[in-house]
Amino acid sequence: MKNMNKDEILEMAKKRGVKLNYLSELIGGYRGKLTDWKSGKTTLSESEIKIITDYLSGLTDAETQLIPFLTEKEKEIIRKYRRNPKIQYAVDKLLGIDEKDD
């Protein structure tokens, strides 16, 4: 799959309800890296863009590849959570996850 450009990434993240700070953590960057990238204060490497593109496209398990210590059950939970936006709100509430991260 072709990597997304900045506008495509920002649009897809917004559409899927994915916080920029979460994407920053996904690529191992500092908390506000994607916010800085959005405003032109920093750049992303091709590999960082690929990880984000893969994650937002749902084509690979980019996140779980970055966290090798997870059990298979934990990886499956992440995949199902990521692919089902309808349950994300309920799971976030149940776990007390604050949506003010972005």
Question: Which pLDDT value is given to residue 99?
Answer: 59
State the alpha helices, DSSP H only, in the chain: 6-16, 20-26, 33-38, 46-57, 62-66, 72-83, 85-95
State yes or no: pLDDT of 90 exceeds 50: yes
Contact 60, 54 (CB under 8 A): yes
Number of H helices, E strands in the chain: 7, 0
pLDDT in tens, 47-74: 889 889 888 887 555 554 555 566 778 7
Q: What is the pLDDT of residue 10?
A: 94
How far from the centroid of its chain's Cα atoms is residue 60's Cα?
Answer: 12
| Full-model pTM | 0.56
Residue pLDDT, tens place only, 6-44? 999 999 888 888 889 889 888 888 888 999 999 999 999
